[in-house]
Amino acid sequence: MDKLPKIAVPVVFALIVLALLISKSAVTIGPGEGGVIFETFGEGINTERTYGEGFHIVAPWNDMIVQKVRQQSISDNMNVLSVNGLDITVSGTIWFEPEFKSLGLLIKTKGEDYINELLSPAINAAAKSVVGRYTPEQLYSSKRDIIELEILEEVRKELDGQYVNVKRVLVENVKLPNTIKDAIERKLKQEQESLEYEFRLVTAKKEAEKVTIEAQGKADANRILSASLTDKILQDKGIDATIKLSESPNAKVIVVGSGDSGLPLILGNN
């Protein structure tokens, strides 16, 4: 009985040490994450393997570095210059994800804070390069989609071979000085009013042409009709009309002789 406490002490100590080793060696990588091993007694980051989600055991003298490997985004406000040297603030968001198999190389060459060390500078450089090609008016109005695509292409060039894939760039806002913004809005309003006025002029012109064509058609028809109505035709038509009138049950017509035109002469009816 006297020996039991002496044996129990080292056993308890061994159990504690074992528990500490297990707790340090056991690593759980969460959803959308990946991990790489930092070998304390080796060459540092092991670039050969990236560990996926789940439970892993590593040597207690090594460390597991865990990073997000799913698609993620960052937003930033960038101060850039337009083609005419005007200071402009561009607000944008970029979607990206690190290459899963190359996570070790990314961390080894760029560090764990690769977003600030690598990605943000590349975005700023691309934004300055692209925005510098455009005027404030183009940035404010019609060129937004084109600018997004061009920034995306520039960022991809900057990050080529850097183990990060950029998926999309969104330009959310372009902030101009108020004086420039007001001037652009006035110009756009004037252009819209001018287009509306031109539309009304074109519509009025087409309506006038329509009326002219209709009047010309009527005039041509009357001219053709007048040319075809000879005295003989008019006399025949007058006789036909007189006969129809005489056949009417409500009319009693007395025809005596003929008029100067040769038509029957109606003296009256009862």
> Residue 122, by phi and psi: left (phi above 0), alpha (psi -120 to 50) or beta?
alpha
Instruction: Fill in the DSSP letter of residue 62.
Output: S
Report the C-alpha gap between 8 and 33 in whole angstroms.
Answer: 42
Q: What is the pTM for the complete model shown?
A: 0.58
pLDDT values of the chain reduced to their tens digit, one per residue, 270 residues: 454 465 665 655 566 655 555 666 788 899 999 999 999 888 899 999 999 999 898 888 888 999 999 999 998 888 877 777 777 888 889 999 999 999 999 999 999 999 999 999 998 888 888 888 887 777 766 677 888 899 999 999 999 999 999 999 988 887 776 666 566 656 655 556 566 667 677 777 788 777 788 778 777 776 776 666 566 665 666 666 666 666 666 555 545 445 555 555 554 555
Q: Name every residue whose Cβ is closer than 8 Å to that of residue 39 and which is 6 or more positions away in sequence.
A: 45, 46, 62
For residue 256, the model assigns a pLDDT of 45
CA-nearest of 69, 173, 183 to 131 is 173
The structure tokens 């056991």 sit at: 26
Report the C-alpha gap between 105 and 90 in whole angstroms.
Answer: 32
Q: Name every residue whose Cβ is closer than 8 Å to that of residue 132 and which is 6 or more positions away in sequence.
A: 80, 81, 82, 83
Report the C-alpha gap between 184 and 178 in whole angstroms.
Answer: 10
| Whole-Å CA distances, 200 to 125, 209, 213 | 47, 14, 20
Rounded to an integer, what is the distance from CA 118 to the centroid of its chain?
28
Beta strands in the chain (DSSP E): 26-29, 33-39, 44-45, 54-57, 63-68, 72-81, 87-98, 164-175, 255-258, 264-266
- Angle separating helix axes 144-158 and 120-131, nearest 10 degrees: 130
For residue 48, the model assigns a pLDDT of 92
Report the C-alpha gap between 210 and 217 in whole angstroms.
Answer: 11
Q: Name every residue whose Cβ is closer than 8 Å to that of residue 108 and which is 6 or more positions away in sequence.
A: 44, 45, 47
β-pairing, 255-258 vs 164-175, is: unpaired
**DSSP class per residue in 179-195:** HHHHHHHHHHHHHHHHH
Instruction: Fill in the DSSP letter of residue 51.
Output: B
Domains of the chain: 3-68 (no CATH), 72-176 (3.30.479.30), 235-266 (no CATH)
